[in-house]
Chain A
């Protein structure tokens, strides 16, 4: 609901509200804020409301901490906000939304790749084994 005409407010043509991650932090130390913003805004620019945060690096107890303001999330989703794919995946992991299909697909692809790698290593080991010089 930004009204063009004022020099301070930026007016857009089209665009919609999205709930996405805004990156912050320093070099080699990312920190995401889960944010409801206009889709045409810069990724780290002015947002409508902060709905939570995510620390992608594990802490001293080996956990990645995420906070989600579910009440305001429900409000913005009710207002017709869209979600970015990483936001959807995170909410699927949290249990707020059903699991994203790409999470499942990603898990299957990873498993297939790992199995292929193990299969590639096994005959390679078999051929290298007796050929190892002492």
Chain B
């Protein structure tokens, strides 16, 4: 929740990569030199998560269910406040609510896993045996960004090395505590306990906790997110994340691994044809060499035809999707007839 507070203070009209870049600072690019080269090559060859077009498609698919976004979060009990408003004031209030909802739906960044730090600053062999435990020195100067902070470890063997990422995160949380983050990550993020969370259908809560606890490029963050997405995809619980800020990340993960059948069926069954078409457009953007992408580009197909071409060439569960499409068309026919 505090993570949301920090993002809520960003400029209102920005909901896209501009805000993301400002807040996360792209220190991942500045700090880790080798990352910058890889990211640029990725952009030129295939679209990355924070391109304008990709973000637009993912945002459209996320949906804007005000009831779900502003569903009651467990806070201290206060009696409800009633206001008497005219039609115009009600419209104004709804418009402001939509603005705030858009801010709450800003997607957290999807980054590559960080490289482990492995840097020795000094070796003093004659110090061996004087100490039994290591020293961890943190620079607590207030004005340096956390990514550029110096955190060094003097081992009992006399070697002075830079601290590993886990040590860094722990020390920064000790000296500059962030709300919602614990010094030692809670046990719920271990694989054996994630199953219990998924059985209770609390995917969104665990993802929010994960965002508060870990940095977006840490292996734990990526592992928890992937497990959650896999579980959702296995059980078909796509609606749990719809209209939350995690939906975009999930769609990106599934499209990259070509596991789009379940979510396509779910969208057609809920009569969200526009979302289905944007999903397929995204798929074609990411995998331009597949058959349906070429067919779509030649024929400039739209809507249901696009889905049909996609289903014929790229999907595994063809039968199910055909059935769902048929049911949808019948429903459309009966509704237009009646």
Interface residues of A, Cβ cutoff 8 Å to B: 52, 58, 60-72, 93-95, 99, 103-104, 106-108, 110-111, 114
Closest residue of chain A to B124 (Cβ to Cβ) is A99
A-B pairs with beta carbons under 8 Å apart, 25 shown: A60-B184, A63-B135, A63-B136, A63-B153, A63-B167, A64-B134, A64-B135, A65-B136, A65-B138, A66-B136, A66-B137, A68-B140, A69-B139, A69-B140, A69-B141, A69-B142, A71-B141, A93-B137, A95-B122, A106-B130, A107-B127, A107-B128, A107-B129, A107-B130, A110-B129
Residues of B within 8 A of A58 (CB): 133
* B210 close to chain A: CB less than 8 A: no
Inter-subunit contact A68/B126 (CB<8 Å)? no
* B174 close to chain A: CB less than 8 A: yes
Residues of A within 8 A of B153 (CB): 63
What 1/0 mask marks residues of chain B from 109 to 122 whose CB sits below 8 Å from any chain A CB? 00000000000011
Interface residues on chain B, number (Cβ under 8 Å): 30
Inter-subunit contact B135/A66 (CB<8 Å)? yes
Inter-subunit contact A64/B127 (CB<8 Å)? no
Contacts A70-B141, A93-B154, A99-B124; is A63 near B133 (CB within 8 Å)?
yes
Contact with A67, one of B127, B133, B138 (Cβ below 8 angstroms): B138
In the bound assembly, the distance between CA atoms of A65 and B139 in angstroms comes to 11
In the bound assembly, the distance between CA atoms of A63 and B136 in angstroms comes to 6
Query: A51 to nearest B CB, angstroms?
Result: 9
In the bound assembly, the distance between CA atoms of A62 and B137 in angstroms comes to 14
* B150 close to chain A: CB less than 8 A: yes
* B160 close to chain A: CB less than 8 A: yes
Known contacts A71-B141, A108-B126; 19 further A-B pairs (Cβ under 8 A): A60-B184, A62-B133, A63-B133, A64-B135, A64-B136, A65-B171, A66-B135, A66-B137, A66-B138, A69-B141, A69-B142, A71-B143, A93-B137, A94-B137, A94-B154, A95-B137, A95-B160, A99-B124, A103-B127
* B279 close to chain A: CB less than 8 A: no
Closest residue of chain B to A94 (Cβ to Cβ) is B137
In the bound assembly, the distance between CA atoms of A60 and B133 in angstroms comes to 11
In the bound assembly, the distance between CA atoms of A67 and B256 in angstroms comes to 43
Residues of A within 8 A of B133 (CB): 58, 62-64
* B82 close to chain A: CB less than 8 A: no
Residues of B within 8 A of A70 (CB): 139, 141, 150
Residues of A within 8 A of B142 (CB): 69
